[in-house]
Chain A
Amino acid sequence: MSNSNQFIHALYDDDDTLLSAVKEIRSEKYNIEEVYTPFPVHGLDKALGLEDTRIAIMAFIYGCIGFIVSIAMMNFIMIEDWPQNIGGKPSFSYLENMPAFVPIMFEMTVFFAAHLMVITFYMRSKLWPFKKAENPNPLTTDDKFLVEIELHDNEKVLKSILKKSGAIDISIIEKQE
């Protein structure tokens, strides 16, 4: 890739303006590198043309794993390893004691789905503890929205497009890698 290392940063102060700006920029065939927002903007993923997330499928699979683990776990603990007489139900069969295990089956399903989903999300977003923030402008953690576009000798045209789309501030930065 022939990277110029030069990027243009456009700052917006409203999520609706940002959404229409993103649509405008993309309709002019410019490639948006990244958008930084203080909160999830509804419909931004579609406007950016991002692929649908596959985390829902993973959530289902993780839930199934948790479900199976809970069954194996309760079967080992309560039936095989140490059967107990609880409420006059000294049953040695998982199926006959199943209603008592349903809450655990449910909780383990949720537990696995939730935790593994978060871990997956961190891994896919390349986030880990003590990682230095990649955020180029701290204002985007407050109330501003930032669009990052790579620059290739088209500064003038791009600047006018961005200005027209409602950007409140446009700056050009150089990235050292």
Chain B
Amino acid sequence: MEKQMNYTFPNKLRNLAIAFMVAGLLGLSYGFLSAPSTIEESKAIIAASHGDGHGVDHGESITESHGPNSEHDLTESHKNEESHNDSAAGHGQSINHEKSHDAEHDEHVFHQLSNKPWAALYVAAFFFFMISLGTLAFYAIQRAAQAGWSPVLYRVMEGITGYLLPGGIIVITLLLLSSMHFNHLFIWMDPEVVAHDKLIAGKTGFLNTPFFLARAVFFLGGWTLYRFFSRKFSLAQDHASDISNHKKNFRISAAFLVFYIVTESMMSWDWIMSIDPHWFSTLFGWYVFASMFVSGITAIALITIYLKSKGYLEFVNDSHIHDLGKFMFGISVFWTYLWFSQFMLIWYSNIPEEVTYFITRIEDYNLPFFGMLVMNFIFPLLILMNSDYKRINYFIVMSGIVILLGHYMDVYNMIMPSAVGDQWYIGASEIGGFFFFLGLFIFIVFKELTKAPLLAKGDPYMGESERFHY
């Protein structure tokens, strides 16, 4: 047999990944340290950020109007508890109401600010985990469909899904920390909240911490199990004399897809939708699926192009890239279709408990909300529409980076408004979280790529895939 060249993880890339992780950790720790630990600190942060966040003229007017107000708050905050007992005449009552409202607001903002680094960490952890899970679904579809074009890319996909278990464990650890009340990401985990909230109380049969964590472990366990066996059969097929491993892989892939589409949907309710336990959307699972699917395919394309540019994957030609480009284009449109289906129905019916989701996002998150639409739809639509562009690495890489950042924004828009409300900005913890998990993702994925030959040479469709030409 000809020599099988294994991939070696270049030191430069390894160092870059480690540098990302270190820088990300620094950003994250700064984010956690600078988060307020008391209500007073949170108020000071708000006052400061209002002072220098705006233009000079505007800023002055805000500090003027805010100045006396916040002093007022500071001096009288201890009186607020008593204000409930005062039952004075009409005029006095309204003042008291305002005061207690102020205190509630301050506490609310404090919770949002102390949630912020946790939420940023969670967004980044989930985003990179989602890439790996989306790739696993794409891989299973190729296996179950017995695709002839894609076997040359199997090892790249298997490399990306190598991140599934570590990434999943990190996400579940964060969920566990939430359930131990290290943060208030999932307010339904707080018995105090549930006691005063009829709607959440009605959902405790499903939304309770033990069941929630058990489900999470079950989901990840199922996905990991498929990944483990599929990888095992794929490696065994390399040196097999018959195609029994290939057939086994076909069977477990079909079974996995059934398991996946149910568990993925429930995972999206659990891990994302339940952050805002009053709101629900029946197609949320599909929406999250489209996001992870297109992110996964884009990651496959980017890593394939990177490896090819380094002289590996000599059997991958521009027709394979073209097909990945078509998927990136098609699933981007699919994502938009689901996004719009969700948006339009809620916008049209205008039911208060539903529409609040989009009102928060349009009012408080205007730029990321509509910016994400441009990045995830308009940009790939116009760039990847042309058939020839899908064969040019430059266009795939450029639109791929925009799509990945766009879907990071998508996850950000799903999680942040429910977790921190209007107290958002892209700060140290957001950038740090992104870079930490980017580094970890690169480190684990490329490490996994070194473990097996980059060509799954035993696959019965390999010949067809190598000759694949459009």
Contacts and interface: CB of A to CB of B under 8 A. Distances in A.
Nearest to B337: A106
4 closest cross-chain pairs (CB), A and B = A99-B344, A99-B347, A87-B348, A100-B348
Nearest to A57: B386
Contact of B348 (A56, A60, A99): A99
5 contacts: A87-B350, A89-B350, A99-B343, A99-B348, A102-B344
Contacts of A103: 344
A49 interface: no
Nearest to A59: B385
A60 B385 contact: yes
Contact of A102 (B340, B349, B385): B340
A102 B348 CA distance: 12
Q: Is the interface of B mostly helix, strand, loop or mixed?
A: helix
B366 interface: no
A129 interface: no
B121 to A, nearest CB: 34
Given A102-B340, A102-B344, 9 more contacts: A56-B387, A60-B385, A87-B349, A89-B348, A89-B350, A99-B340, A99-B348, A100-B348, A103-B344
Contacts of A100: 344, 348
A110 to B, nearest CB: 12
A100 B346 CA distance: 11
Interface of A: 56, 60, 87-89, 99-100, 102-103
Contacts of A102: 340, 344
Q: Is the interface of A mostly helix, strand, loop or mixed?
A: helix
Nearest to A86: B348
A120 B344 CA distance: 35
Nearest to B346: A99
Interface in B332-368: 340, 343-344, 347-350
B362 to A, nearest CB: 12
A89 B344 CA distance: 13
Interface in B299-358: 340, 343-344, 347-350
A56 B385 CA distance: 10
B438 to A, nearest CB: 34
Contacts of A89: 348, 350
A103 to B, nearest CB: 8
A131 B349 CA distance: 52
B148 to A, nearest CB: 14
Nearest to B347: A99
A163 to B, nearest CB: 28
A88 B350 CA distance: 9
A132 to B, nearest CB: 35
A74 to B, nearest CB: 15
Contacts of B387: 56
